[in-house]
């Protein structure tokens, strides 16, 4: 009875995923066709209530199309992807261009690529524009001619960034290691265990879908701005990502050692420890080192929102540069009396000019001393 129920759950899960996938893919194609035909304006595109009803209707129509096609033996892309193993063995091999699912895949990819070109406003003219290229050259020139007076502070922030990534990865390893076995389909067999598997995989997928940048904002509010918030953000994201990668390695292990250990009368825990763990330990180490590499790079980005490390230093100097440009724009057309030394001190970090105060035509001053503002 339990085996039949489990098989039914597996079949129902595959049919559900197939229907949802086909509903989204066919609905996407129908929605794009509708947009091309009707060419709605900006106001119509912002009408979320009407658009929600339209797209819901297209989704339901697409679900109905998927059910009718699969019922009549015409395999859709969703059926091809999520088809149960026992049904795959019964299928006759056919070239993709003789199948509906093959053309559905090709059309879906082409339409998605076309929409991507349109939404990203891809333009070779702008990419090859001479003025833009000259600006990029100036940026790279600045990279290869850095301000070495900032190097000591930058090194300290880089060390902080590396250890943020290290602690996030180190704390994520045991949690991800344990969760990986609960998220492996070949271990979580049976209705109850399979339900736990679905719940955990869904939870990890949702957690992983939230960018580390957003987690950094949340923890910056929770524990305050600094490296601790950045480390917690990276740890949460690392647990979700490593657990998924670890579990996929567990699902790919050879069944031979498992059957051999089970033949000796070993318990489930002993089977996992002596038959599965030895097979996955090296990939685990590889994935973990790669995750640390990812965390080092992500730590730089989350520093931009208060996560600490070199990213925080970058955003501070970017903000100072923005303030300088704003002052120049505001004051370039006026003549005034002000303590200009204090302003320069705050903008350019040059305290030696604090005592400077004068009457001047600011426009003339700028034309003669532009280089000073770039120090």
Reported as a single tens digit per residue, the pLDDT across 89-145 is 666 777 888 889 999 999 999 999 999 999 888 888 888 888 888 888 888 887 788
pLDDT of residue 364: 43
Report the pLDDT averaged over residues 297-316: 80
Cβ burial 193-216 (10 Å sphere, 16+ → b, else e): ebeebeebbeebeebbeeebeebb
Rounded to the nearest 5°, which phi and psi values hold at 333?
Answer: -110, 15
| pLDDT tops 60 at residue 358 | no
Is-contact 232 169, C-beta < 8 A?
no
pLDDT of residue 137: 86
Contacts of 256 (CB under 8 A, 6+ apart): none
**DSSP string over 144-189:** TS--GGGHHHHHHHHHHHHHHHHHHHHHHHHHHHHHHHHT-TTTS-
Reported as a single tens digit per residue, the pLDDT across 159-196 is 888 999 999 999 999 999 999 999 998 888 888 888 99
Nearest to 272 by CA among 288, 248, 253, 245: 253
Half-sphere exposure of 99 (CA within 13 A, CB side): 19
Nearest to 273 by CA among 291, 287, 288, 253: 253
| pLDDT tops 90 at residue 336 | no
Q: Could you tell me where the beta strands, DSSP code E, fall in the chain?
A: 335-338, 358-361
Which of 59-73, 257-271, 360-374 has the highest average model confidence (pLDDT)? Answer: 59-73
Q: Which residues pair with 361 in a beta bridge?
A: 335
In this structure, the strands spanning 358-361 and 335-338 are antiparallel
* Structure tokens, 20: 């949802």
Report the pLDDT averaged over residues 68-77: 88
Tokens 């004051």 locate to 331
What band does 31 get if pLDDT is binned at 50, 70 and 90?
Answer: very high
Distance CA 278, CA 282 (A): 8
Cα-based distances in Å from 163 to 160, 200, 285, 293 = 5, 29, 18, 12
- Domains and their CATH numbers in the chain: 2-141 (no CATH), 151-312 (1.10.3720.10)
Q: What predicted TM-score, i.e. pTM, was given to this entire model?
A: 0.65
Distance CA 57, CA 64 (A): 11
* Structure tokens, 53: 């009803």
Express as a percent the part of the chain with pLDDT over 70: 80
What band does 59 get if pLDDT is binned at 50, 70 and 90?
Answer: very high
**DSSP string over 113-143:** HHHHHHHTT--HHHHT-HHHHHHHHHHHHHH
Contacts of 130 (CB under 8 A, 6+ apart): none
pLDDT of residue 21: 92
């Amino acid at each position: 009875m339990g085996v039949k129920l489990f098989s039914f759950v597996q079949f129902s899960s595959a049919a559900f995923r197939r229907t949802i996938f086909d509903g989204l893919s066919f609905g996407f194609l129908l929605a794009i066709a509708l947009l091309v035909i009707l060419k709605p304006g900006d106001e119509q595109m912002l009408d979320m209530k009407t658009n929600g009803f339209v797209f819901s209707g297209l989704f339901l129509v697409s679900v109905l199309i998927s059910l009718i096609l699969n019922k009549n033996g015409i395999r859709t892309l969703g059926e091809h992807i999520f088809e149960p193993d026992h049904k795959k063995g019964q299928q006759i091999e056919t070239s993709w261009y003789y199948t509906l699912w093959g053309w559905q895949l090709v059309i879906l990819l082409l339409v998605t690529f076309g929409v991507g070109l349109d939404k990203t406003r891809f333009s070779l003219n702008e990419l090859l524009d001479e003025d833009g290229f000259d600006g990029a050259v100036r940026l790279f020139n600045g990279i290869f001619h850095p301000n070495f007076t900032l190097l000591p502070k930058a090194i300290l922030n880089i060390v902080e960034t590396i250890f943020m990534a290290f602690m996030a990865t180190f704390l994520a390893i045991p949690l991800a290691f344990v969760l990986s076995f609960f998220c492996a389909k070949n271990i979580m067999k049976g209705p109850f265990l399979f339900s736990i598997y679905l719940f955990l995989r869904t939870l990890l997928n949702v957690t992983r879908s939230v960018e580390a940048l957003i987690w950094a904002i949340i923890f910056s509010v929770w524990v305050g701005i600094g490296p601790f918030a950045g480390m917690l953000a990276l740890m949460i994201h690392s647990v979700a990502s490593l657990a998924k990668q670890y579990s996929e390695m567990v699902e790919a292990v050879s069944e031979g050692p498992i059957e051999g250990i089970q033949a000796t009368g070993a318990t489930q825990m002993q089977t996992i420890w002596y038959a599965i763990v030895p097979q996955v330990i090296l990939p685990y180490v590889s994935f973990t080192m790669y995750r640390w590499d990812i965390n080092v790079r992500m730590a730089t980005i989350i520093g931009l929102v208060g996560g600490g490390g070199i990213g925080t230093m970058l955003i501070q100097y970017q903000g100072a540069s923005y303030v300088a440009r704003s002052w120049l724009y505001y004051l370039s057309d006026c003549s005034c009396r002000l303590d200009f030394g204090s302003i320069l001190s705050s903008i350019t970090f040059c305290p030696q000019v604090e005592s400077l105060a004068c009457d001047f035509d600011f426009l003339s001053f700028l034309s003669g001393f532009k280089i000073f503002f770039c120090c």
